[in-house]
Structure 1
């Protein structure tokens, strides 16, 4: 009698484990296509390098729903400073100091000195006119770092 209960319990356990494995594999299969369709196409990218201050990480130009964004990756890092801005510069290598107003467009104040962040590029800005993204100190007109696109 005990043997009969043990066999039934074993069979029930195997059926339950088999069903759990099947559900898990089905859930994984349905999630994969969703993640793939939400991925944003990267138009351009570049790696930050130091100018006045150590700056590192990667910036990507991402197109999404007809808009362009600058995305900094999780490795982005620069020094703290006053009045820091994200700018687009016409040159692939912006000057370390003395940036002229005709050569750049300001995108936004820098959100954080490290980590992932995203900035919308204004609709009236033609990205083809600019060759780099820079972290710029407006107060001292100094380029902290830049990434050529």
Structure 2
């Protein structure tokens, strides 16, 4: 993203995050244990689909399903938010942990959760614009 005068130029087609490999593509199948899930709902922008928190070989991942879709926007991130319902605008730094830059605005994708993050401390997954601070959409967790 570059600032030219009063205009921001951004390249939305080249995410800086390398996605974790999707499961099922290797010859050996690895057992996944889903622990939480949620259904996305729109906040400032239409957002749909589901998310699952899975454990695989002792590592945790967030998986967005094939039906996931949100609007295009600047500087979009996937974050874990402390409560089930984030504010429409004005998310505070102490209330979330960033999992990574949104890989794409639709379709299946997977994000590794750092070992230092305890998902039990969070109530929802949020698609969030870091630059302007609106909540695009969120998925409250249910066990």
Q: TM-score, normalised by structure 1?
A: 0.75
**Secondary structure at 2:77's aligned position in 1?**
strand
Matches within 5 A, 1:61-140: 61-140=53-132
Q: Distance in 2 between matches of 1:59 and 1:77?
A: 11
Aligned to 2:49: 57
Name the structure with the higher helix share: 1
**Secondary structure at 1:128's aligned position in 2?**
helix
Q: TM-score, normalised by structure 2?
A: 0.78
Q: Report deviation, 1:108.
A: 0.2
Name the structure with the higher strand share: 2
**Secondary structure at 1:38's aligned position in 2?**
coil
Q: How large is the Cα RMSD of the aligned pairs? A: 1.3
1:14-58 per-residue CA deviation (whole Å, 9 max, x = no partner) reads xxxxxxxxxxxxxxxxxxxx99x6341111100000000000000
Relative contact order higher in (CA < 8 Å, ≥ 6 apart):
2
Aligned to 1:38: 30
Structure 1 ranges of 4+ moved more than 6 A: none
Aligned length: 115
For structure 1, the 5+ residue unaligned runs are: 1-33
For structure 2, the 5+ residue unaligned runs are: 1-26
